[in-house]
């Protein structure tokens, strides 16, 4: 176990690395400490030591391996969050179905994001996409509000009472769109975009939407294998028929469709039938699948008769597609900053004046249900 004697200053992002592989810990340390704004304050090899490091270091971020001897990541997670409630935990997993399933469970328990362990030297070398994405993720989570599993069952008022809002963390000013000018009839489809913190947000929203008689299509930034597992978890949690997107799959009312990792989810009309097309174009906003291609594709088909929600996530994916939808007369809502893990994607649509409403997570599902019904 390596623990420097001094913790990182407040203007650094402090990180604890937890993995039984000293090689991977070394790779992650090299990547992170190449950025002068990030400091690794502890590097340990199992879950028991992770809890101790969380208690002593109170890090901003912990990167926690899923499978380890002595104590695995899923078992350690509650102890880490109890020892340091403000720490944002990123689960680190191999690209396997078991790893994906455990990671999704961890995200329901309070982890905010997942990363897939880098494979080849090309994946993890200087300037690699893995390096750029990891550093961007770490910085985006500095000062972010970690969600906890209990928040889905509490009211917005209760959450604000338990964790008073810091006035210094107020979101940038935004102006709501004049909703009287938007299409207020029944939408043909509901489109949702999400990223960092998205699985927890999706479970919360979708539980409120059971029985809707329109399709729900979702682009969540996740790698392949993970989107398949996410689909299974959504089906189990909501009881709504849920499908990972397949090429030429028929889109049916009352079903949920999740973009497949590594492919953009696009749509085509075949006569009167809406079908999915898997797009293999380049990443957009550094993401594949991305929200913007999904929205563009739908706007070409349904114009204003689309309802869109942008949930927690890093970056600005979905903003351009939402703008196109609003220009046609459609409606867009976003998750507010207080309940978002990262107010990047929802903040982009809000501060660009595209939203009919900006709401706490617990209020989004009911608002969408009313808008559809």
Q: Which residues are catalytic?
A: 195, 221, 317
For residue 171, count other CB atoms closer than 10 A to its CB.
15
Q: How far apart are CA 66 and CA 260, in angstroms?
A: 22
Residues in the chain: 373
Q: How far apart are CA 38 and CA 363, in angstroms?
A: 35
Distances from the Cα of 34 to the Cα of 148, 159, 240, 270, angstroms: 31, 37, 45, 51
For residue 91, count other CB atoms closer than 10 A to its CB.
26
Q: How far apart are CA 280 and CA 1, in angstroms?
A: 43
The DSSP call for residue 247 is T
Nearest by Cα to 205 from 234, 245, 171, 241? 234
Burial label, 301 (beta-carbon count in 10 A; 0-12, 13-18, 19+):
middle
For residue 55, count other CB atoms closer than 10 A to its CB.
13
Distances from the Cα of 327 to the Cα of 165, 298, 309, 347, angstroms: 34, 14, 16, 19
Judge if the upstream peptide bond of residue 289 is cis by omega within 30 degrees of 0: yes
Please, are residues 164 and 171 in contact by the beta-carbon 8 Å criterion?
A: no
Please, are residues 24 and 55 in contact by the beta-carbon 8 Å criterion?
A: no
Q: How far apart are CA 345 and CA 83, in angstroms?
A: 30
Please, are residues 2 and 26 in contact by the beta-carbon 8 Å criterion?
A: no
Count of alpha carbons within 13 angstroms of residue 318, beta-carbon side: 32
Nearest by Cα to 90 from 18, 9, 191? 18
């Amino acid at each position: 176990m390596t623990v420097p004697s001094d913790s990182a200053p407040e203007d650094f992002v402090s990180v604890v690395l937890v993995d039984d592989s000293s090689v991977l810990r070394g790779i992650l340390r090299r990547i992170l400490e190449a950025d002068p704004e990030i400091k690794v304050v502890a590097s340990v090899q199992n879950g028991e030591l992770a809890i101790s490091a969380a208690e002593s270091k109170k890090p901003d971020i912990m990167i926690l391996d899923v499978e380890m001897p002595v104590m695995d990541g899923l078992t350690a997670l509650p102890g880490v969050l109890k020892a340091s409630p403000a720490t944002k935990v990123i689960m680190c997993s191999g690209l396997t179905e078991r790893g994906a399933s455990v990671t999704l469970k961890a995200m329901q328990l309070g982890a905010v994001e997942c990363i897939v362990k880098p494979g080849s030297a090309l994946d993890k070398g200087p300037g690699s996409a893995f390096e750029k994405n990891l550093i961007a993720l770490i910085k985006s989570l500095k000062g972010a509000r970690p969600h906890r599993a209990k928040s889905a069952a509490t009211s917005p008022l209760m959450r604000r009472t338990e964790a008073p809002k810091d006035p210094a963390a107020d979101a940038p000013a935004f102006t709501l769109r004049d909703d009287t000018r938007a299409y207020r009839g029944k939408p043909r489809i509901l489109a949702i975009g999400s990223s960092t913190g998205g699985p927890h947000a999706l479970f919360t929203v979708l539980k409120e939407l059971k029985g809707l008689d329109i399709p729900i299509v979702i682009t969540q930034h996740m790698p392949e294998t993970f989107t398949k597992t996410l689909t299974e978890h959504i089906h189990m949690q909501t009881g709504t028929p849920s499908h990972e997107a397949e090429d030429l799959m028929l889109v049916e009312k009352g079903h949920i469709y999740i973009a497949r990792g590594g492919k953009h989810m696009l749509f085509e009309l075949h006569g009167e039938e809406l079908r999915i097309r898997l797009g293999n174009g380049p990443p957009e906003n550094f993401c594949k699948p991305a929200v913007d291609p999904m929205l563009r594709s739908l706007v070409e088909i349904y114009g204003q008769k689309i309802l869109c929600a942008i949930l927690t996530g890093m970056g600005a994916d979905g903003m351009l597609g939402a703008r196109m939808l609003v220009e046609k007369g459609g409606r867009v809502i976003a998750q507010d900053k207080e309940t978002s893990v990262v107010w990047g994607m929802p903040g982009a649509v809000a501060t660009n004046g595209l939203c009919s409403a900006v709401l706490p997570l617990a209020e989004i599902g009911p608002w969408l249900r009313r808008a559809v019904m």
